Structure 1
Amino acid sequence: MKIRLALLLALIFSVASTASSSAAGDRHALVIGNAKYPDADAPLKEPINDARDVADELKRDGFKLEIGENLTGDAMRRAFDRLYAEIKPGDVALLFFSGYGIQSNRQSYMIPVDAQIWQESDVRRDGISLETVLGEINSRGAGVKIALLDASRRNPYERRFRSFSAGLAPVVAPNGTLVMYSAALSSVVSDSGGDHSLFVQELLKEIRVPDLMAEEALNRTRVGVTRASRQEQIPWISSSLAEDFSFVPGGNPHPAAAIAALPPTEPPPSTASPAPAPSPAPAVNLPTPTAPPKVEVTPPTPTPADKPAGNNPAPAEVALADDPTIKSLTAKIDANPDDINALYRRGQVYVSKGAYKLAIKDFDDTIRLNPKDVEALNNRCWVRTVVGDLQGALKDCNEALRLRPNFVDALDSRGLLNLKAGANKNAITDFDAALKINPRLTSSLYGRGLAKQRNGAIPEGDLDIANARAMDPNIVQEFETYGVR
């Protein structure tokens, strides 16, 4: 009965949200992921996965969406023409592009997969100008214009006419525009070596928070990327928005949002003020260090950057050493064994490859150099949880939360730890605290559902799990790879 009532309420909320969206103008989005550039040594790993994840989220947020993968120049222009034709005065228009970008004559160009670039003038001939796109969208009357470019990559073209990759240029955009690049102006970053970019991982975290204004969501994304990359990657933002805009209006929750999964007697969470600090770490009856739980664990699927995971079997150390990203980071560490940024980043890459022992060693060294490094503590907590070292994991998570009481990733990690330890009430407490900060944190929502089921609250647990699966159909498989079923 509770499930039917919640679904009915979700449907009502959905109708209300649609009506509100229509009154404020429709939402349109074009999402492009370009990965297979013939001039590159190998296809990019991140753009297709990132474009699909962003597209899925925007669909849930009420956008009328078109997604394109590995588009040629003609295909990109046709896609933009279709977007322009849909826009009416007062609408919202959003562009997400992941692939290669190049600046020329102080403009930023998105590069199609069939571009033939041998000199700078070819960039302007074959590339798609961001300023031109935003100008055309504005001419159709769009009230809110948003452009998100994950295109500040080292590319195979600029070496032909420049001695360095120049990154992207500042954009001269019309009023009512919000633009974000994945890296600072005139700077480039290398791909992480994983299947998802750090930029998109952090972006998805923030745009899922109900009632959070778009500018604040992107500012939080910038902080998250900067922190996770140890200031090696600092996104750039430009805004001239003249009206409020939220990806997920808090007053009209999405049918699959975690907020609908709260028990009827609980008030909905608010993101207007910081969440209260969680209570001291609950006592957990964990196994003794000499008898850790025997859990069959396979490498997990990718998750946000502060808790990276991989979907490949743990490779041999020799094979890992040939990975370009690991090789570059190892060279930095060989030159300076106390390079804390390189150690932390290599640890993240090792986790993405399923090399958990090597990852823990790098996080050990990172924490040795800075015992107050909450991101490294959380990463080590999560990896130790996955491999079954629950005593060590609990110590790491507790320390991270002592240093940063509202650290949502550490709350989520400790919730997973408690779930694996069978401490279901404590898991619910941690997942509740995480969801009060980010009500659409799928891992916490699904974990809370499992904990509620195991604690006897079957209908409430079923509803949490149904909502989590609606938000991320792969969440069940992800938890199975953690050894949690």
Structure 2
Amino acid sequence: MTIRLSLLALLVCLLAPIAPSDATAADRLALVIGNAKYPDADAPLKEPVNDARSVAEELKRDGFTVDIGENLTADGMHKALERLYGRIKPGNVALIFFSGFGIQSNRQSFMIPVDAQIWTEADVRRDGISLETVLGEFNNRGAGVKIALIDASRRNPYERRFRSFSAGLAPVIAPNGSLVMYSAALSSVMSDNGGDHSLFVQELLKEIRVPDLMAEETLNRTRVGVTRASRSEQVPWISSSLAEDFSFIPGAKAVAALPQQPAAEPPPAQPSAPSKAEAPKSEPPKTEPPKTEPPKAELPKAEPPKAELPKVDTLPIPPPPAVRPNNEPPTPAPPALADDPTIKMLNQKIAENPDDSGALYRRGQVYASKGAYDFAIKDFGDTIRLNPKDVEAYNNRCWVRAVVGELQSALRDCNEALRLRPNFVDALDSRGLVNLKSGMTKNAIADFDAALKINPRLTSSLYGRGLARQRSGAVSDGEVDINNAKAMDPNIVKEFADYGVR
């Protein structure tokens, strides 16, 4: 009898289903980070800290062991990640949620700590935290399910310091068993809505609480909710290579996908260009949302740059009205600038070494980003005086002079930048702005064309070319460029308005 009972117990154990990866709380590990206080930004972000706290509480309810960090420096982020890596055991679930600024560089996405010192693209790779590296480490430690939820598709304060990188985030090359979601489409940026939570987190928290959904369906429903609520202006991106069922709610069983009520169908697409008053809307989500990014407006295809760039060394630009006398020094910096921590640090470096061209250039960039254009022009001029071959300083001074209307001087700076570095995409983009503001639409189109052949997703060149095409009479082609640019970056219209271009 004893033998029979033992055999029966053994049989029951053998036939019992193997516990899934989400069976116990100890198997679920999460790191949640909300970075809001970036010294280089004009003001703290309103959403990331609240988003991180709410996501952390929800994950705790779902059985995760959660480590939460707010306004973490690079050292703080690395230490938090090391703690997470050290807890992972084979078969665990490892999740990272990040809200803050993100930048793509060299086709990778980087989460940015609050103390990052970013002046060149190389600084992104030095100070940023690579998402691919984090997921790779999850995999190396044996995590069975690897999840990344990234709400970082924001216009960041470092953008005008180096202009050759693409906006938004890049597709991630993740190991098998990964589920990755960005709050917006690849290479696009969104503005914060000014509320307590981002639209992405609002929808995510709503869907995570729906019982009997697998994680992929939870995120697909989140994407549907964000797309509808934003009227297709924000469409999250998802990538999945999960090889097993996983649910945010422990014990959930896989069921057929719940039917989604389709959004109202838009009228059939017309062959003519969309109306100027309305940006194109992407196709509404279908009943069963796909696992990959929905189709976007068609963008220009990359081609190798032309051998010869447009020559505009002697453009007949009419002299603009003087912005300020050439020899008049700028007025004293406003107190808000003098108290800026980055400017304070650079002021100290320059006081210690007035010939520190790097500090002068960086201070010029900060002044330009804050609209103190006179100060920026002076610092870029001092940089060029110390290093007459500083192509970046020529390009940045060209751009600033274009913004304030010193178009003849701006053109000379851009031409010199392109002489020093042919095919320099940033200088082509800047010179396109000069030509656009000067009324030289054909030359503007030529410059923007050349820039877009090098970087087809350079939003400023795409929008600038659209305006130039409209002004030259190619209204339909111009509308296509403008609407594509607005789909990539909803803030592009305001950016050009700030340049004095409408």
User: TM-score by structure 1 length?
Assistant: 0.48
Which structure has the larger Rg over C-alpha atoms?
A: 2
Structure of greater relative contact order (alpha carbons < 8 Å, 6+ residues apart): 1
